[in-house]
Each structure stands twice: as C-alpha cells, then as structure tokens.
Chains A and B, each alone.
Chain A
Amino acid sequence: MNELSENLIVIRDLKYSRGPRVIFEGLNLTIRRGEITALMGPSGTGKTTLLRLITRQLIPQQGTITIDGIDISTLSQKELYQLRQRFGMLFQNGALLTDLSVFENVAFPLREHTELSNRLIRHVVLTKLHAVGLRGAADMMPAELSGGMARRVALARAMVMDPDILIYDEPFVGLDPISLGVIVRLVRRMNDALGITSIVVSHDVEEISTVADRTFLISNGKVAASGSPDELKTASSDLVRQFMHGMADGPVAFHFDAPDYEEQLLGRDSE
C-alpha cells in the first residue's frame, strides 16, 4: 500500500487559536486507513476542537488538513457536504433530533440524501437499529431513552449512510459498566466488520486501550506522544506517565494558576 492510500487523514503544522488563547500550534498527526485511532489528552487540550477542525466545522488559522489527499480548506460548500457524507459522527450527548422518533432519527440522513422508498428505508433503519440492539426502541422518542441507549441510537444514525470514517466524541463518558462494554464492543465491531476508519476522542485510558490501534496524546497544542496504547503505558515521558496512570500532579499541575495561597488568604494579594 502506498503512503497516500495508507494515510487517510494527514494534518500538518496546524495552528488554531480562539481569541488570545492558542489551542494548537505546529500540530502534526496522521490517521491511517482502517485503524481505530484514539485522540487522548487532559481536559481542555482541544480534542473536540480537533474533531471539528478535521470535519471543517472550524477553520484553522494555519496549516493543512488533507483527507484522501484533498486539502479540505479548498472545498466549496457543496464539495464539503459531499465529503461529509463519507463521515459519521457520534456526538458526546448523542445529539439526537428531539422532535423525531428513534426510527426517524436514524432514517433522517437517508430521507435527506437519497430517493429510497419508504419500504427500503424501513429495512435499512431496522437493520442498523438491530446492529446496536435497539430495534425494539424504534418508536420511542429520544427523551424516553437512557444515556447509553441514546448513544447507541446516535451510533446507528452515524453509520446509516455506510460512512468511510466514524468519529466518536467521548463515547464512554457517563455510561454504566454494561452500556460501556456494549459501546466498546460496538466500536471495535463496526470498525472491523464494515472496514471503516475510526477516530475516538476519549480520556478513558482503560477502555481506549482495549480498542485503539494507535493513540495520540495531545498536550499544549501539540502531539506529546503517539504509539500503541501499550507503548504509551510504558513510555518514560513524565506527561505520558502522569496521564496514562492517572496521577494527580505532574507536568499537568493539579492547581490552576493562582496567586500565592498564604498571601491570598491573608488578603495581601489585593493590596
């Protein structure tokens, strides 16, 4: 396989800042086709922002993002929408459309982008719902679903157009152990069975270690480390060790920047 066909998404020298705050500076990252790539990092490092940059919901100030060799900054609105049809994205809270039933939520992309008959749409939607174990919930409304169920419905919706790339934004947050196990298995199964490329943003070290092929640890606007989850666990870098082993203090300080404790308690800081 040549480099272009092996590397699906290539990010080079990315710079993005929000107001005066620099989120990324000189970020380089390559996502390989067919793999599950995990993006990890302490809270606030901009992992979700990176997903939004990859899908061009945000535009970087500098640097390039190419998908299949195409620089996404050059795409027109129409071409961008065509590209996005190759993506499926699972939002952290599911982002189901609250005025539509579970069935209609999953059917939504099909109704918007295809001319399929109602019978065929029903067939496809029920197949996808069956794959996530929620065929029986087809007539329920999003408000009636638990957090785990909502995320599984959102996963069914994300894959209903048979995407090439599935993006998961914090898929493991706030789930009970059973739902968590179900989602972890689904991520792996979707990737292998459908031959897609998955990008998972998470800071759940244990869960991500069981599914990811490659992991990028992002900190201070750059990739601080990359490799397989096992390689990262045995890495010598202080930051990687702190993150992978969940240590409270280290390069990522426990305390947010603050004036001297004693001075502040004694009220001298305002003098």
Chain B
Amino acid sequence: MRQVLLDGWNNTVEFVRTFGAFQLFFLRLLAHSPSLLFTRFNVVVYQVYNAGALSLVIIMICGLFVGAVLALQAYSNMSIFNAEDWTGVAAHLALVKELGPVMTAILFAARAGTALTSEIGLMKATDQLAAMEMMAVNPVRRVLVPRFLGGVISMPLLAAIFSAVGMFGAHLVGVELFQVDVGSFWQQIQLIAESSDINEGIIKSIVFGFAASVIAVWEGYNAIPTAEGVARATTRTVVITAIAILVFDFMITAALI
C-alpha cells in the first residue's frame, strides 16, 4: 500500500514537473517567434510549405469525403421531414464549426506533426542539434521555432481549405446526386449562417494550430535519442495531440455557446 502511494506521489510530481517544463518551453517558442518572423522569414515560409502545402492533398481528399458523407446523412434524415433544402446548412455548420478544425488538426498531427517530431528527434539522435549548439547557434530559435510557426500559420489555412472542399463535396452529393435545388441549397446557408459560426471555426483552428505544433516540436526535442525513443515520441505526438484537440474543442465550444 505504501509503495502504491509512493509511486502515485512520484508520478504526480513527475507530471507536474513535465507540465511546468512544457509551459516554459512554449513560452520560449513564443518569445523567439516575433524576431524570427522578421529576420528569417524565408525559413518560416519553407516550414509553412513543409507542414502546410505538403499536407494539402490529404486535407483536400478527406475534406471532400467528410463533406460528402455529411450531405448524405443530412439528406437522408432531412428528407423524412421534407427539409432536403437544409442539407447544405447541416453540412456547413458541421464543417465550419466542428469537423473542419478538428479533422484538420488530427490529420495535421498524423501527417505533419509526426514528420516534425521524427525530424527533430533524429536531428537530436545524430548530434545535429548539439552541433548547432557548438556552432553558437541556438537550436530552439533556428530549428524549433520555424517549425512551430510553420504549423501555427498552416493550420487555419488548412482548416479553411478543408471546409471549402467539404462544402464542394456536400454540393456534389446534395445537388448533383440527390437533385436538391442548387439555389435552395446555397440560399439556406446564406440565410442561416452567421459570421460567428465562421469565427468559432477560426478561433478553434488557431488554438489547435498552437497546440498541435507545440506538442510535435516538444516531443521531438525531448525524444530519447535512439530509434525506439524517436518512434515512441512520434506515437505520443499523435495520441496527445488528438486528446488535446478534443478537450480544447469541448472547452472552446462551451465558452462560445
């Protein structure tokens, strides 16, 4: 019993210590960000390409199918009440407020987050970060901050593209497949949708961008510098990001309702 309590206490202390270190790490990234944006903008742009542009294909394909399946579900249920015209509204609200930011963040973690973690972890394992330290170059500023900013900038853009392509998928199913009147489909959206819906999606995608990027970078930087250590860190990135995104999603939604 005493051992169980002792283990529990040690784990709690370790958790609090790690969480504190994580917050300090986040503050360090934020502190370096403005100067890097102004002095090494080209490095940040390259990371936006890495994290954002290279994730475009998977984001667009997933967006298309998520929009299409939303329209399928909406149409099949709305048609019971002869409310097929509302298919577009249902898809729009679900995409812009929830699925756009959430799905994009989880896909981002799976595609770009894992790449960031494994890249930084391998740089650590092959002494590249130590070599930078020895060349009097701060690896936090030169390696971590550009990757962090690349993720932060990419996420809202990717979420917007996800939602836009999702609406195209919904249009294909609702209008082209089920012959919902195209005017009604888009007119209802225009009548019902408010800017606050879009703002909610934007706020979420910005918060998710910070969360997913800092977790990926943190896990890479703190990975045990072995093959197994990097593999574990990569897995943790996806798991922790997915949980964090869903918790933040609930908190933001509750705050904005």
**Which residue numbers of A lie inside 8 Å of B, CB to CB?**
55, 57, 81-82, 84-85, 87, 89, 91-93, 95-98, 108-109, 112-113, 157, 161
Residues of B contacting A161 in the complex (Cβ-Cβ under 8 angstroms): 135
Is B236 in contact with chain A by the CB < 8 A criterion?
A: no
Q: Tell me, in angstroms, the Cα distance from A98 to B123 when the chains sit together.
A: 8
B138 near A89 with CB under 8 A, answer no
- Contacts A82-B136, A112-B135 known; A91 to B142 CB distance under 8 Å? no
A50 shortest CB reach to chain B, Å: 15
Q: Tell me, in angstroms, the Cα distance from A17 to B128 when the chains sit together.
A: 25
B136 near A91 with CB under 8 A, answer no
Residues of B contacting A95 in the complex (Cβ-Cβ under 8 angstroms): 126-128, 130-131
Q: Which B-chain residue is minimally distant from A169 (CB atoms)?
A: B127
Query: Which of A81, A93, A96 contacts B136, CB < 8 Å?
Result: A81
A113 near B131 with CB under 8 A, answer no
Query: Which of B126, B130, B132, B142 contacts A98, CB < 8 Å?
Result: B126
7 A–B pairs (Cβ distance < 8 Å), ordered by A: A55-B134, A93-B127, A97-B128, A98-B123, A112-B137, A112-B142, A113-B136
Q: Which B-chain residue is minimally distant from A160 (CB atoms)?
A: B135
Q: Tell me, in angstroms, the Cα distance from A10 to B228 when the chains sit together.
A: 39
Q: Tell me, in angstroms, the Cα distance from A231 to B128 when the chains sit together.
A: 37
Is B176 in contact with chain A by the CB < 8 A criterion?
A: no
**Which residue numbers of B lie inside 8 Å of A, CB to CB?**
123, 126-128, 130-138, 142
Residues of A contacting B123 in the complex (Cβ-Cβ under 8 angstroms): 97-98
Residues of B contacting A85 in the complex (Cβ-Cβ under 8 angstroms): 136
A84 near B126 with CB under 8 A, answer no
B131 near A91 with CB under 8 A, answer yes
A171 shortest CB reach to chain B, Å: 14
Of all A-B residue pairs in the complex, the 10 with the closest CB atoms, nearest first, are: A95-B131, A95-B127, A81-B136, A84-B136, A89-B134, A91-B127, A109-B135, A85-B136, A112-B137, A95-B128
Which of B123, B130, B135, B136 is packed against the most chain A CB atoms within 10 Å? B135
Residues of B contacting A87 in the complex (Cβ-Cβ under 8 angstroms): 134
A57 near B136 with CB under 8 A, answer no
- Contacts A81-B138, A95-B126, A112-B142 known; A57 to B131 CB distance under 8 Å? no
Residues of B contacting A81 in the complex (Cβ-Cβ under 8 angstroms): 136, 138
Residues of B contacting A157 in the complex (Cβ-Cβ under 8 angstroms): 135
Q: Which A-chain residue is minimally distant from B129 (CB atoms)?
A: A95
A122 shortest CB reach to chain B, Å: 19
Q: Tell me, in angstroms, the Cα distance from A85 to B128 when the chains sit together.
A: 17
19 further A-B pairs in the complex, CB-CB below 8 A; given A93-B126, A112-B142: A57-B130, A57-B134, A81-B136, A81-B138, A82-B136, A84-B134, A84-B136, A95-B128, A96-B128, A97-B123, A97-B128, A97-B132, A98-B126, A108-B135, A112-B135, A113-B136, A113-B137, A157-B135, A161-B135
Residues of A contacting B135 in the complex (Cβ-Cβ under 8 angstroms): 84, 108-109, 112, 157, 161
B25 shortest CB reach to chain A, Å: 16
A98 near B128 with CB under 8 A, answer yes
A238 shortest CB reach to chain B, Å: 35
Residues of A contacting B131 in the complex (Cβ-Cβ under 8 angstroms): 89, 91, 95-97
Q: Tell me, in angstroms, the Cα distance from A140 to B127 when the chains sit together.
A: 20
Which of B128, B131, B142 is packed against the most chain A CB atoms within 10 Å? B131
B49 shortest CB reach to chain A, Å: 13
Q: Tell me, in angstroms, the Cα distance from A234 to B142 when the chains sit together.
A: 49
A109 near B137 with CB under 8 A, answer yes
Residues of A contacting B133 in the complex (Cβ-Cβ under 8 angstroms): 57, 84
Residues of B contacting A92 in the complex (Cβ-Cβ under 8 angstroms): 127
Residues of A contacting B132 in the complex (Cβ-Cβ under 8 angstroms): 97
Q: Tell me, in angstroms, the Cα distance from A57 to B136 when the chains sit together.
A: 11
Q: Which B-chain residue is minimally distant from A113 (CB atoms)?
A: B136
A55 shortest CB reach to chain B, Å: 6
Q: Which B-chain residue is minimally distant from A161 (CB atoms)?
A: B135
A202 shortest CB reach to chain B, Å: 17
Residues of B contacting A113 in the complex (Cβ-Cβ under 8 angstroms): 136-137
Which of A82, A84, A95, A113 is packed against the most chain B CB atoms within 10 Å? A95
Q: Tell me, in angstroms, the Cα distance from A157 to B136 when the chains sit together.
A: 13
B137 near A91 with CB under 8 A, answer no
Q: Tell me, in angstroms, the Cα distance from A84 to B130 when the chains sit together.
A: 12
Q: Tell me, in angstroms, the Cα distance from A55 to B137 when the chains sit together.
A: 14
A99 shortest CB reach to chain B, Å: 8
Q: Which B-chain residue is minimally distant from A105 (CB atoms)?
A: B131
Q: Tell me, in angstroms, the Cα distance from A55 to B135 when the chains sit together.
A: 11
Q: Tell me, in angstroms, the Cα distance from A81 to B132 when the chains sit together.
A: 11
